[in-house]
Structure 1
Amino acid sequence: MPPRPSRASRFLAPLVAAALLAGCAALSAEAPVARRVAALLPADALLLGEQHDAPEHHALERETVQALAERGQLAALALEMAEEGRSSARLPATATDAQVQTALGWNDKAWPWTRYGPTVMTAVRAGVPVVGANLPRARMKDAMADVSLDVQLNGEAYAAQQEAVREGHCKLLPESQIGPMTRIQVGRDRAMAQALVKARQPGKTVVLIAGAGHVTKVLGVPQHLPTDVSVKTVHLQAGGPSEDDTDAYDATWRTPALPPVDYCAGVLRRTS
């Protein structure tokens, strides 16, 4: 799973504040999803940054996919939850859930189908391809050793990504592993960007569903897109505002707060 959003990212907000579309961000949280989506278009890619365990986020994702599909504007649905190279493109719109899971190489333990299946099947039923976008596990070892990934972000952004890795691993990683693990995160973002470029179609929008940390303008997937690809990013935030609610997105769609969970508590107990 990707690391949780880091406090370090808030220091990068001034880098993108001037680029924000105030009108998009100002839409009421009660506005219909179709209207919120329309306010962000046109765009070659629409990136939805979720909290993986927030049910309301999965509902918003499904409604976004449905709204674009109904308008004939959905080029593809790309997923962090499936590896690059996987696709439902050869399946008919009548394919079963099981057939789609097989085509995508779905890992139900990591990504429960009960959460993501309704959104995925909305695209399939509309005859729209669903594509894996994440860096394949088989290539992660190579990414860890790929020093060229160290210069894909500017110095400040790369330092923030390193801090996100530290916090995402509960500050238990030895410092010698921070560089290699950061390269994996950068490699994953670059793979997702490449998947978006491959899937785009003129006049339509590719939707990417990924963790919120992957879709920030200053650290994530947008950093790796060609300049001729227009992109809009949405932070799906449970609760808030909070210190991690930066201005690194074109819009923030807030949902009810979830009970606080200390994800590191169990890890620390096992290592003590």
Structure 2
Amino acid sequence: MRILTLAAALLLAGCAALAPVPETAGIDAVLIGEQHDAEAHGRIQERWVSTLAKRGQLGAVALEMAEQGTSTAGLPATASDEQVREALKWNKGTGWPWERYGPAIMAAVRAGVPVVGGNLSREQLREAMKDSTLDVLLPGPALKAQQQAIRRGHCDMLPENQVQPMTRVQIARDISMARAISSSAAPGKTVVLLAGSGHVLPDLGVPQHLPRTLVARSVLLPSQETGKDYCEEFRKQQEHRQQRKQAAR
């Protein structure tokens, strides 16, 4: 697989919402990495999808936010939001805010372009935690970097015995999204993946699991300050889980 990484500073110079969507001729897949709670990112994603659709270059939209096997392919371009949500099983408690991702998804549907899920179900995620075959799918340095990213992503508060299972989950999800992209790829078209920034990193994420013949570009959207203390929120979540465990004894 050939990975072309476009620096966010180059692509999104100045006002990110107004930066032009570059030409994607010859690019099989564009992997857009977002910050899940950055409001501006939803607008950028919609603009990418809408622009490529208008150019006739959009082949499909793959989502971290929906499970593999779900698709809007059977729906008409006039489908309602509710029909699209049902097709993607968005109504089954996904936790992803529709108001954030709906505009990009509906732009693809209105253009007659399929939107497909790329994530794993909760049961599959639990199975991945125990799957030791996932430990050998990344080169040694990349695996260690992925493990370190898991630690940092949990503010170095994750018990060490959970690092390996959580790393397996990350890898399994990357593989699932890579399969969604590969199965949707078509000559002369570009598949757009919408996922968290960690999933689109060329050395660690989805690009590692794409076919070598597929030309992909990873685009990291710039981080946005939200005023949240993520580590404090995670600490409180951990304390709450511990309290529930103790109460259940």
The residue type equivalent to 2:201 in the other structure is T
Q: Distance in 2 between matches of 1:65 and 1:133?
A: 17
Instruction: Report if aligned partners of 1:27, 1:36 keep a CA contact under 8 Å in 2.
Output: no
- 5+ unaligned residues in a row in structure 2: which ranges? 241-249
Q: What is residue 71 of structure 2 aligned with on the other side?
A: 87
SS at the partner of 1:37? Answer: coil
**Take 1:66 and 1:169, find their aligned partners in 2: how far apart are those partners?**
34
* TM value normalised by structure 2: 0.87
5 Å matches for 1:124-203?
A: 124-203=109-188
Per the alignment, in what secondary structure is the counterpart of residue 222 of structure 2? strand
- Give CA-to-partner distance per residue, 1:151-170, whole Å, 9 cap, x none: 11111111111112122223
Q: Which residue of 2 aligns with 1:69?
A: 53
Query: Which residue of structure 2 aligns with residue 265 of structure 1?
Result: 232
User: In the aligned structure 2, how far is the partner of 1:20 from the partner of 1:85?
Assistant: 28
User: Aligned partners of 2:29, 2:130: CA distance in 1, in Å?
Assistant: 30
Are 1:234 and 2:201 matched, yes or no?
A: no
Q: Give deviations 1:89-141, integer Å, cap 9, x for gaps.
A: 10111111011001001156621001011110000000000000112222112
- Matched residues in 1 for 2:134 and 2:236: separation? 33
Cα deviation, residue 34, structure 1: 7.8
One-letter amino acid of the structure 1 residue matched with residue 98 of structure 2: W
From the superposition, tell whether residues 99 and 136 of structure 1 become closer, same or farther in structure 2 (CA, over 3 Å): same
Does structure 1 residue 47 correspond to structure 2 residue 14? no
Change beyond 3 A, Cα 1:210–1:236: same
1:70, distance to aligned residue in structure 2 (A): 0.5
Q: How many residues align?
A: 237
Query: What SS does the aligned partner of 2:21 have?
Result: helix
Displacement of 1:210 in angstroms is 0.2
The counterpart of 2:81, out of the listed 97, 119, 130, is 97
Contact 2:72/2:116 (8 A) holds in 1:
yes
**Which portions of structure 1, spanning 4 or more consecutive aligned residues, are displaced by more than 4 angstroms?**
18-22, 30-34
Aligned to 2:202: 217
Structure 1 CA distance, aligned partners of 2:221 and 2:230?
A: 19
Q: Identical aligned pairs, as a percentage?
A: 51
Q: Spell out, residue by residue over 1:50-100, the C-alpha distance to the aligned partner (whole angstroms, 9 max, x if none).
A: 011111111010010011100111110100000000001101111110110
Aligned mates of 2:210, 2:120 — CA distance in 1: 15
Measure how far apart 1:19 and its partner are: 6.3
Cα distance change on mapping 1:31 and 1:102 into 2, 3 Å: closer
**Cα distance, 1:176–1:154 mapped onto 2, change above 3 Å:** same
Going from structure 1 to structure 2, the CA distance change for 1:90 and 1:19 (only over 3 Å counts) comes to closer
Separation in 1 of the partners of 2:12 and 2:226?
26
Letter in 1 for 2:88: L
SS in 1 for 2:27: coil
